[in-house]
Amino acid sequence: MAILELEHVSVSYDGQRHAVDDVSFSVEEGEIISLVGESGSGKSTLLHCMQGLLPKSAAARGKITLFGENMLELSEDRRRRMRGEQVAMIFQDTGRYMNPIARVGKQFTGYLKLHLDKSREELLELERQMLEKVHLYDVDRVLHSYPFELSGGMRQRVGIAIALSLHPRLLLADEPTSALDVTVQAQVVKELVQLCREEGATIILVTHNMGVAAHISDKIGVMQNGKLVEWGSARDVIRHPQEAYTKSLLSAIVELDDEQFLCR
């Protein structure tokens, strides 16, 4: 069953040229989707409009149905209630979205309290469990740290732990590892996808790395100048790309064989 459906979605900022231009696709529950494309091709705009998070300067047309709700017409109140439990987001740089002068544990608790009616001890237990799930082992030290005391990789893992803590059905991840060392990137993405598979969560991952997309995805979408120029199963997109642009992205990665569909 489709949990998300976009029909002829276009978005423009300040009356300018379309940042997203007539995009349509649908996503089934449990799928791992990657959106690939160069900087400025409209990937972040697309993720933001899926959750109704566009700035006031943006105008969106078309229809976005998420869990049966029309996101472009939903009240802010309803949208806020959907966030966290149904849809959660991971950003490129979790540190930028955290309060620099509050300890990680306090911020984690603050997020959980918005949604859960549990005791302090129960919340702390959930925080510890989630941090262990993302392979942060000295969890009490992490909870007592300020964001700047953690490495970039640790902060992204905290961001993933927080985003997954309410078991969202859909996770939107906007270049969640592009601020990390290349060696850490693949590992963190692979763990993220494995966690989502265990939870049965659907994930839409924005990445400019076609290699990562090829490794982890069920489906790949390629964006160029606001248009979705390619959409299909990862296998089809990799083996039979329709667009010259997709071919150029693919030529940048090493030869693939079946073993490299790691998480599938």
Ligand X SMILES: Nc1ncnc2c1ncn2[C@@H]1O[C@H](COP(=O)(O)OP(=O)(O)O)[C@@H](O)[C@H]1O
44 binds Mg ion (CB under 5 A): yes
Least distance CB 108 / ligand X (angstroms): 27
Under rule CB under 6 A, residue 96 binds ligand X: no
Min. distance of Cβ 223 from ligand X in angstroms?
A: 6
Which of 2, 8, 28, 57 is in the footprint of ligand X by CB under 6 A? 57
Smallest gap from residue 229 Cβ to ligand X (A): 13
Q: How far apart are CA 72 and CA 52, in angstroms?
A: 6
Task: Name the binder of 45 from ligand X, Mg ion, none, CB < 5-8 A by kind.
Answer: ligand X
Residues in contact with ligand X, counted by CB under 6 A, come to a total of 12
β-sheet with 219-224: strand ranges across? 87-90, 170-174, 202-207, 32-36, 219-224, 227-233
3-state secondary structure of 5: strand
Q: Segment contacting ligand X (CB under 6 A): 41-49, 100-108, 110-118, 131-139?
A: 41-49
Q: Is 261 an interacting residue with respect to ligand X (CB under 6 A)? A: no
Applying CB under 5 A, does 41 fall inside the site for Mg ion?
no
Residues 6+ apart with CB under 8 A from 109: 120, 123, 124, 127
Of 55 and 68, the one with the shorter C-beta distance to ligand X is: 55
Handedness of CA 141, 146, 150, 155 (dihedral sign): positive
Does the footprint of ligand X cover residue 41 (CB under 6 A)? Answer: yes
Q: How far is the CB of 117 from ligand X (least distance, A)?
A: 36
Give me 170's structure tokens: 């859909």
In contact, 29 and 1? CB cutoff 8 Å: yes
β-strand partners of 26: 5
Coil, strand, or helix at residue 227?
strand
In angstroms, what is the minimal distance from the CB of 16 to Mg ion?
17
**Position among 37, 52, 147, 159 found at the interface with ligand X (CB under 6 A):** 37
Q: Is 224 in the site for Mg ion (CB under 5 A)?
A: no
Q: To the nearest 10°, the Cα dihedral for 228, 234, 235, 239?
A: 40
Residue 101 is classified by DSSP as T
Which of Mg ion, ligand X, none is residue 90 near (CB under 5 to 8 Å by kind)? none
Residue numbers of the site for ligand X (CB under 6 A)?
13, 19, 37, 39-45, 55, 57
